[in-house]
Amino acid sequence: MRKGIVLMAILCCSALAVCAQRSEQTLEKGWKFTKGDVAGAETTAFSDTKWQSVTIPHDWAIQGPFSREYDLQNVVIKQNNEKVASVKTGRTGGLPYVGIGWYRTKFNVDGFSAGTKNVTLVFDGAMSEANIYVNGQKVAFWPYGYNSFSCDVTSFVNKDGKNNVLAVRLENKDQSSRWYSGAGLYRNVHLITTDKVHIPVWGTYITTPHVEADYASVRVRTEVAGNKDNKLIVETHIYNPQGKEVLIKKTTECGPDGQPNEQNFIIDNPQLWSPETPSLYTAKTILFADGEQVDTYSTTFGIRSIEIVAEKGFYLNGKRRQIQGVCNHHDLGPLGAAVNVAALRHQLQLLKDMGCNAIRTSHNMPAPELVQLCNEMGFMMMIEPFDEWDIAKCKNGYHRYFNEWAEKDVVNMVRHYRNDPSVIMWSIGNEVPTQGSGQGYKVAQFLQNICHREDPTRPVTCGMDQISAVLSNGFAAQLDVPGFNYRVNRYEEAYQKLPQSVVLGSETCSTVSSRGVYKFPVELKADAIYPDHQCSSYDMEYCNWSNVPDIDFAMQQDNQWTLGQFVWTGFDYLGEPSPYDTDAWPNHSSMFGIIDL
């Protein structure tokens, strides 16, 4: 009897140890928020009882009110062929996104013991210029509001792991965006507790080097952090889309700390990922240190092949297909920028029903929930990080941080999403002014090389609109895939001049319309303006720099060397109310969307 009790106790302790190896929680509730700068708000003694109680994700600006006075911009938009500055109203949605905001919460780390545990915070996105404090001490700064980042806070946690104060200061400057960016902790915040020896954030990299109908090879590379002299064992279990374990491999000879462990598998009769069959596998990696299990890390992946073939176009799983994509901004219309899975799923289902098969994340890193939904629902993705590089579009745009932060941002983007089968291509930028400079190709090469280093399996493109410049200065020629924004009349010329022998419509159409509004006479018309601030719903009106969709669709249908296109846009979005962006308040949202707000 006593032996049985002892054995049961040992088993219970063992189970608790396994459960306690990795703890992940989303810090959703219990937050306090205030608008404006507050001295001492990062300290543990500060009282936030009078602050507003909020739930994360939270967009402080979407509650409004709307106003013509918010973020007025007297600017020249060169991308719209403007020569003279004019007052732009509603360019960023007419919402109060500019300013400083503070967030505070408390968290506990159960079973924390200094020297044996590791504590990490992961921010899926914080808009913007985030300063992170734990127990009054600054632990991280990350300026770009769209990117995910993590910070090791182990040394800042209280000794007993209890009542740790997390404070976040965010600041959006005026004229920092060309559309509504949202404001605040608009994406999720995660607290991860692991053993000191563990698999770090985005610590696995899974590729499928060879894919055929009857078998596929799968390569799993696993990073290990915190290891000094421990003897490591990495054990990986592969589960098929039905949840059945199909393979297991244990590696006992692991390299030194910092060198990824590699395991290779052959999967017979694989269930291939595609928009029609979005089959997802899971790799569960178990880490042992000196014979003890210290971590378990699960990674979702898909088995599929992608290939760009000169003259022929884009191939998925060995079959040619054209990209029937849309560009989407990240906001959810009246719901604002705060990520909402149900709303994202609803949007994607509407797009799926109309025949869309791809999403371009314009012009920034997406919420991880969107990528997960694209994996599950069968959308190909082109993920894009930047709207400007080292030369400004907006007075307080990303150019202020490009030289110091661009590599860090691209590395995070690629490592975050390189296991996702939906992602078929990286874009390194959108209509960046740098493309027109004589040395611009060097910046493009710098960013493309980072993508290739972190993920050699996917091609790289860039959305270009200065066609004459990029065809002559080497910018377009050195990209894996030349991506053109509009200028469909230059596709044939580019195809003849560039070595890639393919062209991607990285952004197309920009036709404007208002649901239920019909203007007469019905005629093709650029920059049509009406007293009621509406556009005709006959799909015959467009901006002077764009065109109606029939032209792009015909080009795609008639020429195999066109990879396809991403229409601007799938959904209307807050900001950029063309053609009514020049002192035409109360317009505050786009009219480009195939589907409106």
Q: Which residues are catalytic?
A: 431, 507
* Residues 187/126, Cβ–Cβ less than 8 Å: yes
For 512, 541, 542, the CA distances from 354, given in Å and listed in that order, are: 18, 21, 21
What is the end-to-end Cα distance of the chain in Å, rounded?
Answer: 68
The Cα–Cα gap between 590 and 514 comes to: 10
Closest by CA to 341, choosing from 313, 364, 371, 309, is 371
Which pair of structure tokens corresponds to residue 274? 């595609």
Closest by CA to 446, choosing from 395, 390, 501, 364, is 390
Which pair of structure tokens corresponds to residue 454? 């972190």
Contacts 24+ apart (CB under 8 A), 403-407: 405/143, 405/144, 406/446, 406/447, 407/450
> In the 8-state DSSP scheme, what is residue 278?
B
* Residues 582/88, Cβ–Cβ less than 8 Å: yes
> In the 8-state DSSP scheme, what is residue 366?
P
Contacts 24+ apart (CB under 8 A), 42-46: 42/131, 42/133, 42/136, 42/138, 42/167, 42/169, 43/136, 43/165, 44/135, 44/136, 44/165, 46/104
Q: How many CA atoms lie within 13 A of 438 on its CB side?
A: 0
* Residues 568/510, Cβ–Cβ less than 8 Å: yes
